[in-house]
Amino acid sequence: MSDILQTLSDALADAVQQAGRSIVRVEARRRMPASGFVWSADGLMVTAHHVVEHEENIRIGLPDGSQTKAALVGRDPNTDLAVLRAESGGLTVPVWAEADAVRVGHLALAVGRPSGQLQATLGVISALSHSPNETHFFAQTDVVMYPGFSGGALVSASGQIIGLNTSALMRGASLTVQTPTLRFVVESLLRHGRMRRGYLGVGVQPARLPKALAEQIGQKSGVLVMSVEPESPAERGGLFMGDTILAVDGQTIENGEDLVSSLGGGRIGQSVAVRILRGGQVQELQITIGERG
């Protein structure tokens, strides 16, 4: 038994060492530093949005002990991600763990560098979730998030980075923004400096569908349109107060989160099919998605 435990212990230490070559210290707030990690060898790094309190005089502590300056490229409060560009090159890019390789019950390590040295805690992945359009992937763990760990990495037992740890997205829970979402958000921030989000211009609330209709179309609820903003994409597309939205571009809509998820930045300017219930009849409208200002 002691040999098994020693082998496991050595493997976890190796995983921390491997990932640690890409973990950095981020000094962008008045209190203690936070963590981040290398995104590309030429100096791009990711950290948590909430730890970047000032956009000037950002300092990065590199794995080799040296320091460098960094500038903010962009940030996304909704996923608590920020992209920095450091005045450094030749950095070690981590090996990424894809979402389909991560399972509930896997061991995982939270790794940070709020001081000059690596720090790590061990836990288990307790839950996984993703948006219907599969752009937002999150993992929940029972790892202890020590002060300064936000912006650091969740690391697999083989040393791959599963995603970015944050304590700001859910009160009392340790969440990890997984690799597919990191790519999606970072690419948008690099391209636009911000996350582009689609816009319909409606206020909605969940609404249960009549039993017969629910059985016919295979969904139990939609979202009832409570208001339509003047001159909005919804008004121009023919949506009225009292309509119930059932689907957007083939994606089933059963609550407000589904509707927000369906309005990704990639659909801005596109005319999409919006399936609605109006007067007891299922209809389809073509609506051009706008961009939220």
- List active site positions: 50, 80, 150
First to last CA, the chain: 60
Three-class SS of residue 4? helix
Burial class (CB in 10 A: 0-12, 13-18, 19+), 212: exposed
Tokens encoding 233 = 């994409």
Q: CA 154, CA 164: separation in Å to the nearest integer?
A: 6
Tokens encoding 171 = 């009160």
- What single string gives the DSSP state of each residue in 17-36? HHHHTTEEEEE-SSSS-EEE
Alpha-carbon Rg of the chain, whole angstroms? 22
Tokens encoding 146 = 């020590």
Three-class SS of residue 134? coil
Amino acid at 275: R
